[in-house]
Structure 1
Amino acid sequence: MKRFKLVTLLVGMLGAASPLMAADGMSQQNVTPKSQQQVASMVNINKANIDQLQQLKGVGKKKAQAIMKYRQTNGEFKTVEQITEVSGIGENFIKLNGKNIAL
């Protein structure tokens, strides 16, 4: 009888511990290193299409079109700050997206 209780107790403990270990493993799989996140979100404002430009914070379809129109009229951006010359884009845009913009 003692042996039965001991086996039952051990099986119960293993059963309770399995979901905890599985959850811990899952949380580690979903962690993306910061450097990979930044690389994935880099947008080249001289080459990006409308969909890619919309990945930037605060850029919808109209602002993306305005960026492309500016690019067609004035040529490629020479500096990241030059994008503030596009109508509707200001200094706050640079603060939000500066690290994600490439030339």
Structure 2
Amino acid sequence: VAREAARRRFVAVTAGLHQRAQQGVDVQALTEEGLEALTAATSGLGSSTRPVSETIDGTLDSLDSPVTYTESPWENVNHFIQGWRPGGLYVIGARPSVGKTV
């Protein structure tokens, strides 16, 4: 939604710049005005990427700390997945009448 709104603002700004350029406005002034308007129109989008140097310490710390699992009621499942992990999504499927209901 935010990207589409920014796209609409971008189109509006560039259309206005095009119209003013056709009217013979000073190119230098129009360029400066356009840069400011485009920066304002697309502000808030930001970049979703960050340098590795900002994230590596937290990532390495999380690898060193043990993950807390909650055991499932099925011993065989625990053998394979060690239990339920926080934030995990698990789909259990089996034939009818084998005790999938907890």
* TM-score normalised according to structure 1 size: 0.28
Report 1 or 2 for greater relative contact order, CA contacts < 8 Å, sequence distance ≥ 6.
1
Task: Give the TM-score normalised by the residue count of structure 2.
Answer: 0.28
Larger radius of gyration: 2
